Amino acid sequence: MKSDNVAESVVSRPQKAETDVTAIFKRTEVIGRGKFGVVYKGYHVKTKQVYAIKVLNLDSDADEVDDVQREIQFLSSMKQIPNITHYYGSYLKDTRLWIIIEYCAGGSLRTLLRPGKLDEKYIGVIMRELLTALKCIHKDNVIHRDIKAANVLISNEGQVKLCDFGVAAQLNQTSARRQTMAGTPYWMAPEVIMEGVYYDTKVDIWSLGITTYEVATGNPPYCQVEALRAMQLITKSKPPRLEGRNYSTLLKEFIALCLDEDPKERLSADDLLKTKFIKAHRTTPASILKQLISRYLLFREKNKSARESAFLIEDEGNPNVNGNSGKETTGNNNNSSAGQAVEVDVKWDFDSLSSSDYIMENDINPEEIPEGSTHDWTSTQSEKFNFAYPDEDQYYYYPTNNYNNGGKVYQGTTIAKNQPTIYNSTLNAPLSHNNTIGNQLSKRVKATYSNTTTGTNSYSTANKKTEARAPKMLLELFEENAVINEGQDDSNFSRINKNLTHLHLGPVSEDISSPPISDGNLARPHAGVMNNTSLHSQSTPALPLLQTKFSISSKGPKSSITAAPTPIEIEIPEELPISTATPHSINEKASSSQTKPRSSTLVANSGLHYKPPPGISRRLTLGNTASREVSNSNFREEDETYKGTTFNNFDSSKLNSVSTSSIPTKQHALKSPSPSKIFFSHNSSPTRKPGGSPNHNNSNNNMMGLSSGNDAIPPPSMKPVATYFESKDVLLQPLNNSNSASATTTNSNAVSNTNISDGNYGSEKEVSRVNRDFKRNNPNLKLHMPLPTTIAPNKLLDTTVISTNPISGPAPSSNENINQFGFNTSTANIPISMTPINEKHVELGAGLNLGNTSGSGTKPKRVHSISNRKNSQSTEPFGSTPGSITTSNSINNVPTTATMSTIAANSVNSNNGANTLPLSNSNVMSSVVTPAVTNSLSLMPAPPSSLNMDFFIDLDPKSFEPHKWVDHKPQVLQDLNLLLKMFEDGLPVVKNALERQLHSSDAIPDRDQS
């Protein structure tokens, strides 16, 4: 109407946009296959000009269209920049977008690397060309963010073309820096990986340096380790340097200039063009790169076997797609491909070229073809080039929310399948997942345990409210009388959510006894707000490190808030009786209710007498809370067992399924901070039903609101060299477990332990994502978490402090009873079993290391983590030590095979017979009420007499006379060594025992595992 003339004028233009793209372009073959699209070779019907055609299916989650749009804008704004794949236009056909780009017959540099490393003259030319492109890109304030050999294409004429602007970013003048993590791990600059650090175009220079390294050596640095570890290494290590005599100093210098840790010191593209290395190759024509192409072609022909392994794509793709427009399958995995708008990571193949043709066509003298072309690379060698490190695609990080790939890799198919469950998660997901569980649970709790009823009530009511929310929001639209808030630009959604949040704040803060539940509630209201952003299905990367990273470096405006080091802010409810709570101090809080002896902890529990415990290293964030959760419910559990309530059959099958489903992926095991969890989820499945009854409580709670510490805490020290650590863990974990069992004769602890681990495990994927999403979407909200960490341990520790101090403090060595071991084991073993698994890990690992000096690379960090603990507890002489040292205590006991087996038997017994549980519990009680030594002593041999209380005095210089501090050190070390040796000796025993147990219980878990 108004603008008819416009429409006409455009429509009447010669090339009608409505024309079917399939009539303009014909596709001939698949040349690449990416995560969410296929790249074809094709030609323009009229001109016969050959193009690469990228076909993306836009029928995916919302952000994808935007991302594609952004990428296209980059491409079209860079039409005039040299050495970039030229963009010719895009056409929409149904839901598929055809993006017409320049065809580069030579394929990617990565492909051309297959026959072997490149000579420096080629490197010089390639880098020169890339730098000219980068110079222009950076001048436009665009960061490519994903420079690597795979994204460098070589045209038929040997021209170098940078491609894939899928994760590129435009810097604007006001914020000329970025914060989000994007790119491919091995090529990422440290400042990209580091949290909360801004970066600019210099990150491309780093990546270019890595790419140079890659083409010179065949792989990027750290290619032998998996991506997460590599990322750690990148941030922690000195920048890599090219070593070796076969490289010229110029090249080494060039790489060193690119790989400067300090972005400011790093040269710009402009300056790099002036380096000697580039100048040395200034005159070399780009056409010599044609030799690389022929080298590759020859290599490919000579090496069929290598080819087969290297060309999986070829087998997958159907070369005769001509005209099959509707039928191509894009990636198959819609789940993981959701929202990935990054250009397909092209794996070029050019079957259409044969080497002889190419050599003749391009007038190449075969003599000139460099070494390597005739070298007969074995298939393994070529594999080494191609697969030595995990495929980079898998570790793509997108500036937006898509981290799916990482998760997929590590978690395997089962979890990937679980994705939809977790889909859209935020905190909402786990809750909805466990809705039924939670409900049942809460009902039962209500029935049996009056103290928690408030919590459960609030839960159920809140549940109703959230259910009513959506309609409410809808109906509110129609409330005519309602005053429309002038200043409110927010959608009703967020408003309602805010209300809801307020509603629930009360219950949460008042009712600490069931924080997880209310947490879940809290979580829920926000889900609505998050919907938009969290539309992507995100497989939770089981990657602890990354998650915090991501939560911090989430995109856009929110990132400013997320820059805080802790993934989630934790707020202590103000009503807490003792603690003056401040959001951040929790983690470090070392105080606890000191007046409570063990027996009173139960009272404390019901009286909501909570304080953050001392034994927690400051790095703990969610992990803390999780573990606290656990302990929390542990108390409850104890209470309940007294009352004779049975939780026994509670939904164990569900939990089982959760845990077992994730077992199969071995990589996950390697990844997750405490692989032993897997062990436990196996192990405990039978035990759970009878003995572990109330512990489901734990795991449930865990699942509901809390992050399992394992995922949430990125423990750098927990990045083990895979196999070594794994096996060790399996050993360690049981040890720990049996620790508690032996010390107190309660297996309930062990069971709870396993359950906890189960819960953690199951919840790991959900909860962690929850945190991430939650954080991202509600940057302003503070999550009301239960107070961090194990309450029990703290109480216990405190108890020990209190009780031992009076006695042992003045005359530390005088009293055998108050000897570390007896006392601490009995009391502190509970904390141990309750500490988040990875915490335990740390301790145990540290202990082992002390004794072992086992040479695992993780040693220093672990030790560090222990020291962390100590730091956090500086006020209390003993507070911390029991946590870390009692471990070794009981380790001490381990060597005696007899004890071990009895322990094992014990645990088995209790597992099988629920009736042992009350008994064991009472044991705990008795051990608590009466200073307990007898209990533990009856079961295990006494610890070495030299290990007296006073040696702990060493650990806290403040508490006692300073001179003692010096005196005891060597002795303590000696003792520790002794202990650790014994511990080490005991390991095989424990392993045996536990394996036996595992085998014996195999009959039952079989179905779980399957």
Q: Name 108's bridge partners.
A: 153
Dist. CA 329–CA 260, nearest whole Å: 43
Nearer to another protein, 246 or 532 (CB): 532
Dist. CA 155–CA 50, nearest whole Å: 12
Dist. CA 65–CA 149, nearest whole Å: 27
Question: Closest distance between another protein and the C-beta of residue 954, in Å?
Answer: 54
Nearer to another protein, 304 or 464 (CB): 464
Q: 């003995």: which residue's tokens?
A: 691
Question: Closest distance between another protein and the C-beta of residue 77, in Å?
Answer: 7
Q: Catalytic amino acids?
A: 146
Dist. CA 783–CA 855, nearest whole Å: 40
At 881, which amino acid appears?
T
Question: Closest distance between another protein and the C-beta of residue 332, in Å?
Answer: 17
Q: Name 142's bridge partners.
A: 170
Nearer to another protein, 41 or 469 (CB): 469
Question: Closest distance between another protein and the C-beta of residue 25, in Å?
Answer: 14
Which pairs with CB-CB distance under 8 Å and at least 24 residues apart come from 128-132? 128/273, 128/278, 128/281, 128/282, 129/83, 129/159, 129/160, 129/286, 130/83, 130/160, 130/162, 130/208, 130/211, 131/208, 131/269, 131/272, 131/273, 131/278, 132/82, 132/83, 132/269, 132/273
Question: Closest distance between another protein and the C-beta of residue 419, in Å?
Answer: 10
Nearer to another protein, 173 or 365 (CB): 173
Count, residues in the chain: 1010
Nearer to another protein, 466 or 746 (CB): 466
Nearer to another protein, 424 or 662 (CB): 424
For 425-439, the DSSP string reads -TTHHHHHHTHHHHH
Q: Tokens representing 278?
A: 């580039």
Nearer to another protein, 37 or 614 (CB): 37
Question: Closest distance between another protein and the C-beta of residue 486, in Å?
Answer: 7
Spatial CB neighbours of 635, under 8 Å, sequence gap ≥ 6: 601, 602, 605, 791, 792
Q: Name 152's bridge partners.
A: 162
Q: Could you give the count of Cα atoms lying within 13 Å of 740 in the half-sphere of its Cβ?
A: 29
Question: Closest distance between another protein and the C-beta of residue 530, in Å?
Answer: 9
Question: Closest distance between another protein and the C-beta of residue 10, in Å?
Answer: 5
Distance spanning both ends of the chain, measured CA to CA = 66
Nearer to another protein, 463 or 627 (CB): 463
48 is in an annotated binding site: no
- Cα-based distances in Å from 260 to 209, 253, 752, 944: 9, 11, 49, 53
Question: Closest distance between another protein and the C-beta of residue 160, in Å?
Answer: 21
For residue 337, what is the enclosing H or E element? Answer: helix 334-337
Torsions phi, psi of 821, nearest 5? -70, -50
At 85, which amino acid appears?
T
Query: Are the beta carbons of 348 and 108 closer than 8 angstroms?
Result: yes
Question: Closest distance between another protein and the C-beta of residue 389, in Å?
Answer: 34
Nearer to another protein, 271 or 357 (CB): 271
Q: Tokens representing 88?
A: 């010719």
- CA torsion 739-742-745-748 (nearest 10°) is 30
At 426, which amino acid appears?
T
Dist. CA 497–CA 529, nearest whole Å: 7
Dist. CA 265–CA 650, nearest whole Å: 61
Nearer to another protein, 16 or 48 (CB): 16
Query: Quick count: other Cβ atoms within 10 Å of Cβ 456?
Result: 24
Dist. CA 269–CA 141, nearest whole Å: 13
Residues making up the annotated binding site for ATP are 54
Residues making up the annotated binding site are 54
